[in-house]
Amino acid sequence: MKISLTLQLHLSVLLFGTAGLIGKLVDLPAMQLVLGRTLFGALALAVFMSLVKQTSQTRWWPAQTVTSTPKFVGHLLTSSLVLVGHWWSFFYAIQISGVGVALVGFSAFPVFVTLLEALLQGRKVDIKDGFTTALVVLGLWLVAPTISWQNSAFQGLVWGVFSGALFAVLALQNKYLVQVFGGIKLGFWQQVFAALMCLLLVDIPSLISGLGSATQSPSSKDMTYLLVLGVGLTALPHVMFITCLKQVRAHTAAIVASLEPVYAIAFAWLLLAEQPAVTTVLGALIILLAVALNQWQKKLVASVH
């Protein structure tokens, strides 16, 4: 049965939202979480790719000669580094402030997507896109705690916004890279390079005051969670989301991905008893409204054409 692009996009975001809970369940520094996530994710994709019927020439690397140029490899490496930064700040924000605040902060990324798209394409921001992203900003403002770096909730919100900004950059990078690699190969190589980068960076947070704790050995419970995170909540949704970018505008994908905090807050409430504040729920509902408006607009345009 073929899954529609819209359903595939929403399913990938649902799985991404579930991944946020691992940041609270696993007792490991954020960089080690990213290392485990990328390692298991890369291994899962490697197994899948080995089973796919393709020639050995194109199974692991695209046949296009453009991929052999230093510039293209540079784009791939840069996107992997952005992925590491996005996931690290994502988990760190959750660990210091809780799922709700951190994920609503992350949901600001459509604003960055809209601005970056307009900048790169040399056009003005579309009024309709500007309105939906403005709703996301409003939702973010409602969640904002006291503006003080001494406040852990404010720190989590800031790191969440930073993670969202990096995700916006990654979405636009993947929009270009997926045209050459395809979703599966791109997801595999990004996670391979991301895992290698994590191996180099895993001890750095312990050297910077306030950004993490020393590297520690994961327990069997932690390894189980990392396996679930890497395979079911990373490899699968990562490929699904990237594949959707072939035919979906980056801004549309970004608005749908804004549902991630809604899913994450709901799961945190049900599974971790992490009850969100009224303002957090209100902010999440406003984001949901932005998603609904964007989807309605897309269907309206499609019916006209």
Tell me what the mean pLDDT of segment 17-30 comes to: 83
Let me know: does 49 contact 59? Beta carbons within 8 Å: yes
What percentage of the chain carries pLDDT values higher than 90?
A: 13
User: Residue 303 pLDDT more than 60?
Assistant: no
**What is the predicted pLDDT for the residue at 291?**
67
- Give the pLDDT of residue 179: 79
What is residue 300's predicted lDDT score, i.e. its pLDDT?
A: 59
How far is it, in rounded angstroms, from Cα 135 to Cα 287? Answer: 7
First to last CA, the chain: 27
Contacts of 267 (CB under 8 A, 6+ apart): 17, 18, 20, 21, 99
Most confident by average pLDDT, 207-211, 263-267, 294-298: 263-267
302's CB contacts (< 8 A; 6+ apart) are none
What secondary structure does DSSP assign to 216-263, as a single string?
A: -PPPHHHHHHHHHHHIIIIIHHHHHHHHHTTTS-HHHHHHHHTTHHHH
| pLDDT one-digit tens code per residue, 241-281 | 777 777 777 667 766 776 777 788 788 888 777 777 787 77
Q: How far apart are alpha carbons 250 and 116 in whole angstroms? A: 10
Segment 129-162, tens digit of pLDDT: 778 777 877 877 777 666 677 788 888 888 998 9
Q: Name the amino acid, one letter, at 93.
A: A
**Per-residue confidence band for 80, with pLDDT thresholds at 50, 70 and 90:** very high
Higher pLDDT, 168 or 250: 168
| Burial label, 279 (beta-carbon count in 10 A; 0-12, 13-18, 19+) | middle
Residues 6+ apart with CB under 8 A from 34: 84, 87, 88, 91, 194, 198
Length of the chain: 305
Give pLDDT, residue 212.
44
CA atoms within 13 A on the CB side of 138: 13
The reported pLDDT for the residue numbered 1 is: 47
185-204 residue pLDDT tens: 888 899 999 999 998 877 65
Q: Which of the listed ranges 64-68, 166-170, 201-205, 252-256 does the model predict with the highest average pLDDT?
A: 166-170
Question: What's residue 163's pLDDT?
Answer: 92
Residue 2: what pLDDT?
Answer: 57
Amino acid code (one letter) for 114 = T
89 pLDDT above the threshold of 90: yes
Half-sphere exposure of 181 (CA within 13 A, CB side): 27
Distance from C-alpha of 86 to C-alpha of 88, rounded to nearest angstrom: 6
Mean pLDDT along residues 4-20? 82
Cα–Cα dist 25/27, whole Å? 7
Q: What is the rounded distance in angstroms from the CA atom of residue 163 to the CA atom of residue 130? A: 21
Rounded to the nearest integer, the mean pLDDT of the chain is 78
